[in-house]
């Protein structure tokens, strides 16, 4: 009988791997991420409801458990001394809230505990802790004191005039179970992805080009999730809508009004004081005179011959703002355009990677396409523009969209027997439109050389029908060029003047010139500046920029150079080292041009614009595309060799580092800290990630 049962057990089917991984995820959520709950159930020391208080002079009672902060700094700070604790204190529950906060930032109450214990007869101070009632986990502070705690000193860091209600202060509290469905889903997806993408997975043997409907559905789902993430990040800042409605941010909307009336200049009449200045582009002179004489001017607009102009690219205006205004009579929201462009950019990268594989790497596995596409889409820097959806990001994103989709159409136009002239013409039109977005990226027009070189040699292009081929490729470029040059000429009297040099900004752009002295520290800052990291969420913080360039240079603090923070980009800087593994000369040339044009664009940004973090988006995607092409070639070479496991493991480590960095920087920003503009989102993320707090 026993042998029969054993045989039946052996014949039973093993549970699917996905089910096992889901169970592991549930167990992790229940017992690992909530271990503070189970730990608190084991404490033998009894609960303490702290009622004996000594309130500092910085707090004035105005009701039951309601106090007003009357002094923030100095000896009379907002403090509460908790007396006669006299027992082992494992944790403390501090529930405070600001009544009628002036802003979202003011909803957070920063507290700091000072305690005495067996090792400290006098108070010793613990780190600050942000408490937010909408994030209950933030109210429970785990203490690691020695022996019995005698007294606790609670220091409240709040603004003078804040009205604070104390809901509860107690010790040795049983921590509730903070079960998160979002974290559970993320962990399950991570476990399933880790299983199917492990080095020994059969998925690496499945061709991307021969993928089944399941693979296509997976890509579609991931693309939809990326777009949902774009919408979530774009709307994460409640102040973004208000910021986008000020005069500076409304340049595209105001230009739509002017163009609808047949004018290329803005309808705001420049101040007579501005017109009278000997050099209106001198920032210090302009600011001093305006301050003393009470004048004003439009910041960051082009001022030329007594009129204001928008020097930012015209293409986004013609694609979005002007048509919307003409049809509805309303202004299109900047955030909406950023959101649309973000989705189009990510979609364009998915399509471009598909075309690159079809053109040069047909043996690529599904996993290689999937991982490298995610890497390029999420590492190229657009999340910084999503996180701060200001109008400055519109021309940058527009250039990435038309550039990425244009290159895709060019690659898609290549056939085994001939060229699809319609697709080639669309590609030319899109790439040429970069001139109306970010002119420095117009170098991408030269990508046509490696893309079409083989077709020209084989007479599939410029063969019997040279005129048609030249017209299909060149006419769209000519049309865009003539339109842009005409627009420039009627505004600034030169077909090559886009108006940036007449910008009313922090220094005189009319006297800006190429300076080699800016180049060395500029490249170091944009590419190789090490990040500044701490153990405090979100771990990456602004770096300090220092240099010995004795001249004017625009600089804004960022999070480090794009190569130093995305280590996988190191391969893109040395494409010549991988020439042997890249079988197709045109692919090798394309990768080299991506790197070369990326470096050239960075050089132009350093010289013409400055060291501005958002400018790195101009060239980071090109470096990622170069790295992706090199890694695709390396993957095909190493697969089914003894070096595959080592190479793939190294790639996964670099992939994880890059994805983690770009994810974490969503929670901070160069301009507005998420901690300040959306504290609920920030502290919720912090406590979901740092579950041990």
The helix (H) or strand (E) run that includes residue 307 is strand 307-309
Most confident of 190-194, 285-289, 455-459, 667-671: 190-194
Mean pLDDT of the chain: 88
Supply the pLDDT for residue 178: 94
- Confidence at residue 598, expressed as pLDDT on a 0 to 100 scale: 95
Distance between CA atoms of 73 and 363, rounded to whole angstroms? Answer: 67
Mean of the pLDDT values across residues 84-92?
88
d(CA 558, CA 543): 6
* Cis-peptide into 538, omega within 30 deg: yes
pLDDT class of 9 with cuts at 50, 70, 90: very low
Gap between the Cα atoms of 496 and 544, Å rounded: 36
Tokens 């909307």 map to which residue?
Answer: 253
Lookup: tokens for 489? 């000429």
pLDDT of 587 strictly over 60: yes
- Distance between CA atoms of residues 245 and 258, nearest Å: 17
Angle at CA 430, nearest 5°, toward 428 and 435? 100
pLDDT digits (tens, 9 = 90+) for 71-81: 765 545 788 88
- pLDDT category, 395, cuts 50, 70, 90? very high
Q: Is the confidence at residue 523, as pLDDT, over 70?
A: yes
In the chain, the percentage of residues whose pLDDT exceeds 70 is 96
Sign of the torsion formed by the C-alpha atoms of 557, 561, 562 and 568: negative
CA distances (Å), origin 570, targets 59, 212, 627, 631: 55, 34, 8, 12
Mean pLDDT of 138-163: 88
| Whole-number Å distance between alpha carbons of 254 and 306 | 17
pLDDT band at 136 (very low <50, low <70, confident <90, very high): very high
The pLDDT tens digits for 306-349 are: 999 999 999 999 999 999 999 999 999 999 999 999 999 999 99
pLDDT at residue 551 is higher than 80: no
Cβ-count burial of 220 within 10 angstroms (0-12 exposed, 13-18 middle, 19+ buried)?
Answer: exposed
Q: Which of 73-87, 206-220, 339-353, 642-656 has the lowest mean pLDDT?
A: 73-87
| CA-based nearest residue to 634, from 580, 566, 672, 679 | 580
Task: Look at 7-11, 62-66, 208-212 and tell me which has the smallest mean pLDDT.
Answer: 7-11
- Is pLDDT at 13 greater than 70 in this prediction? no
* ∠ Cα 409 410 412 (to 5°): 60
**Predicted pLDDT of residue 14:** 58
d(CA 135, CA 108): 10
Residue entry with tokens 């041009």: 593
DSSP secondary structure string for all residues of 188-216: HHHHHHHHHTSTT-GGGGSBSTT--HHHH
Q: Which of 242, 434, 244 is nearest to 332 (CA)?
A: 244
Structure tokens at 308: 């204001």
Note the CATH architecture for domain 48-171.
Answer: Sandwich (2.60)
Domain assignments of the chain as residue spans, ordered by start = 2-34+180-193, 48-171, 197-238+334-391+499-689, 245-328
Q: What number is the average pLDDT over the span 417-430?
A: 92
pLDDT tens digits along 442-472: 999 999 999 999 888 888 888 888 899 999 9
In terms of average pLDDT, the best of 48-52, 88-92, 620-624 is 620-624
* pLDDT at residue 549 tops 80: no
What is the end-to-end Cα distance of the chain in Å, rounded? 53
Higher-confidence position of 242 and 686: 686
CB 375 within 8 A of CB 350: no
- CA distance linking residue 443 with residue 440, whole number of Å: 7
Backbone angles phi, psi at 670, to 5 degrees: -70, -35
Q: Comparing 105 with 404, which gets the higher pLDDT? A: 404
Residue 45 and residue 90 in contact, taking contact as beta carbons nearer than 8 Å: yes
**This prediction's pTM:** 0.91
User: Does 496 have pLDDT greater than 70?
Assistant: yes
Residue 12 has pLDDT above 50, yes or no: no
Query: In residues, how long is the chain?
Result: 693
Q: Which of 167-181, 333-347, 631-645 has the lowest mean pLDDT?
A: 631-645
Pair type for strands 302-304 and 307-309: antiparallel
Q: Which of 14-28, 473-487, 507-521 shows the lowest mean pLDDT across its residues?
A: 507-521
526 vs 121: CA distance, rounded Å: 50
Region 192-220: mean pLDDT is 88
* Helices marked H in 123-206: 181-196
């Amino acid at each position: 009988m026993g042998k029969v049962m054993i045989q039946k057990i052996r014949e039973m089917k093993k549970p699917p791997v996905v089910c096992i991984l889901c169970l592991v995820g549930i167990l992790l959520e229940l017992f690992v991420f909530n271990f503070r709950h189970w730990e608190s159930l084991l404490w033998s020391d009894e609960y303490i409801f702290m009622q004996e208080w000594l309130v500092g002079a910085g707090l004035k009672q105005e009701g039951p458990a309601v106090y007003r902060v009357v002094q923030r700094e100095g000896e009379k700070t907002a403090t509460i001394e908790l007396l006669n604790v006299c027992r082992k204190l494992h944790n403390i529950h501090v529930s405070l809230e600001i009544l009628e906060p002036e802003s979202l930032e003011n909803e957070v109450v920063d507290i700091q505990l000072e305690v005495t214990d067996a090792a400290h007869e006098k108070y010793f101070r613990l780190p600050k802790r942000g408490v937010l009632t909408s994030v209950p986990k933030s109210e429970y502070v785990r203490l690691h004191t020695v022996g019995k705690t005698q007294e606790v000193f609670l220091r409240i860091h709040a603004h003078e005039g804040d009205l604070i209600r104390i809901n509860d202060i107690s010790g040795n509290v049983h921590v509730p179970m903070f079960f998160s469905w979002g974290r559970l889903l993320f962990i399950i997806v991570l476990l399933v992805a880790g299983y199917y993408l492990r080095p020994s997975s059969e998925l690496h043997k499945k061709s991307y080009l021969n993928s089944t409907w399941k693979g296509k559905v997976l890509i579609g789902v991931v693309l939809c999730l990326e777009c949902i993430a774009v919408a979530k990040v774009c709307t994460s800042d409640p102040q973004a809508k208000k910021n986008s409605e000020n005069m500076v941010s409304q340049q595209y909307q105001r230009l739509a009004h002017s163009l609808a009336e047949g004018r290329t200049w803005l309808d705001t009449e420049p101040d007579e004081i501005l017109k009278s200045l000997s050099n209106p582009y001198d920032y210090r002179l302009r600011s001093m005179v305006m301050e003393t004489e009470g004048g004003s001017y439009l910041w960051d607009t082009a001022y030329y011959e007594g009129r204001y102009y928008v020097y930012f690219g015209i293409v986004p205006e013609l694609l979005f703002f002007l048509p919307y205004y003409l049809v509805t009579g309303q202004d299109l929201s900047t955030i909406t355009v950023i959101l649309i462009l973000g989705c189009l950019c990510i979609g364009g990268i998915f399509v471009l990677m598909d075309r690159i594989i079809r053109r040069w790497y047909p043996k690529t596995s599904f996993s290689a396409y999937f991982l490298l596409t995610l890497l390029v889409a999420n590492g190229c820097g657009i999340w910084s523009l999503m996180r701060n959806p200001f109008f400055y990001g519109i021309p940058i994103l527009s250039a990435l969209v038309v550039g990425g989709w244009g290159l895709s159409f060019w690659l898609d136009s290549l056939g085994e027997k001939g060229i699809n002239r319609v697709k080639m013409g669309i590609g030319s039109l899109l790439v040429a439109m970069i001139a109306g977005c970010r002119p420095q990226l117009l170098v991408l027009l030269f990508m046509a050389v490696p893309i079409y070189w083989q077709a020209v040699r084989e007479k599939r292009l410029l063969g019997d029908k040279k005129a048609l081929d030249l017209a299909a490729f060149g006419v769209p470029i000519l049309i865009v060029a003539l339109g842009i040059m005409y627009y420039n000429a009627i505004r600034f009297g030169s077909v090559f003047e886009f108006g940036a040099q007449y910008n009313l900004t922090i220094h005189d752009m009319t006297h800006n010139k190429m300076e080699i002295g800016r180049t060395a520290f500029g490249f170091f800052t944009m590419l190789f500046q090490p990040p500044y990291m701490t153990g405090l969420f979100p771990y990456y913080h602004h770096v300090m920029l220092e240099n010995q360039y004795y001249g004017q240079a625009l600089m804004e603090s960022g999070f480090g150079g794009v190569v130093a923070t995305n280590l996988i980009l190191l391969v893109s800087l040395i494409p010549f080292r991988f020439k042997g593994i890249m079988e197709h000369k045109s692919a090798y040339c394309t990768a080299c041009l991506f790197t070369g044009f990326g470096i050239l664009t960075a050089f132009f940004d350093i010289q013409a614009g400055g060291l501005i973090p958002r400018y790195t988006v101009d060239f980071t995607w090109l470096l990622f595309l170069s790295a992706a092409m090199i890694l695709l070639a390396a993957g095909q070479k190493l697969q089914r060799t003894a070096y595959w496991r080592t190479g793939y493991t190294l790639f996964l480590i670099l992939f994880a580092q890059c994805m983690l960095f770009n994810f974490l920087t969503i929670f901070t920003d160069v301009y507005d800290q998420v901690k300040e503009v959306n504290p609920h989102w920030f502290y919720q993320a912090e406590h979901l990630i740092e579950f041990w707090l």
